[in-house]
Homo-oligomer: A and B are copies of this chain.
């Protein structure tokens, strides 16, 4: 664990550790449960040293039971605790689907009992994990009222959103992208800071075309933007950061300004969150749209393992560039 008293450069992964550490030290109600998060520090070592610091009960290794531990987190949350469950990989959240959608999501609506719980879900491809260690499962939960979904793309957002998630009174699914863990870095301010849930951020201002995206694809969009800049095409990159509830305002405003839009995500295309963004725009921005709404996403297949296949599967900056040119020419 790192000290956070001064401005310091941290990776996305370290930013997550810091958020956990700060919230645990400020709030006794916060505790961690999951598989191999104790002495081992988690599959990605995010909680390394935590058990030593916070003890065997505030950081504990559970049996291999995703549904059971999410259920237990719900119960503890109702009793005033602030549990944070680590899924070893986001893929295994399918095993806890029922507790999340039926118990956690509906609880407050039905009888007013809040479930302040965070589920951390290390997700996404690009790490040769194959069909069961690469999935982007966020859309599975996007259609379930009562959940909040966040998916940071930078170290700053990773820390700020996790701190907000922990203090939120609702079940929050926190999608942390494995590909970004050690690949993005940033200097963070020394003081407590929060990124509010529900607010998108314009990561790059632009005139010609909006790219609405989140997670690892933010960096793909920024990469494309840089290249397109040389052709005189000026991309605006909107990072959703929160997927649910959506920041409809920022999305609509950006497209209202640029009149053209690409919706980009790593998750497979059909039924992805991008569909909702497109639908929202087709409903609310119709009169300002100057071109079809293009979606760029992974094809509708499981995530394949072999490098040439995974390479083919993942959306690339060149896809964004091609689509942008097409739209500008439209």
Contact = CB atoms under 8 A, between A and B. Distances in A.
A24 interface: no
Given A106-B302, A244-B270, A270-B244, A284 B278 contact: no
A243 B139 CA distance: 16
A143 B271 CA distance: 5
Contacts of A57: none
A283 interface: yes
Nearest to A304: B109
B143 A139 contact: yes
B109 A302 contact: yes
A283 B273 contact: no
Contacts of A312: none
A131 interface: yes
A293 to B, nearest CB: 4
Contacts of A278: 275, 278-279, 282-283
Interface stretch (A27-35, A42-50, A91-99, A194-202): A91-99
B279 A286 contact: no
Interface in A249-306: 263, 267-268, 270-279, 281-284, 286-287, 289, 291-295, 300-302
Nearest to A99: B94
A289 B219 CA distance: 33
Interface residues of A, number: 49
A124 interface: no
A101 interface: yes
Contacts of A286: 289, 291-293
Nearest to A94: B98
- How many copies of the polypeptide does the oligomer hold? 2
Interface in A134-183: 139-140, 142-143, 145-146
B274 A279 contact: yes
Interface in A182-208: none
Contacts of A291: 286
A64 to B, nearest CB: 13
Given A278-B283, A279-B282, A293-B283, A271 B273 contact: yes
Contacts of A145: 268, 270, 300-302
A240 to B, nearest CB: 13
Nearest to A95: B98
Given A146-B302, A286-B291, A139 B271 contact: yes
Interface centre among A109, A131, A294, A302 (most CB of B within 10 A): A302
A220 B236 CA distance: 41
A142 B279 CA distance: 16
9 contacts: A94-B101, A145-B270, A145-B301, A244-B270, A275-B275, A278-B282, A279-B279, A283-B295, A286-B289
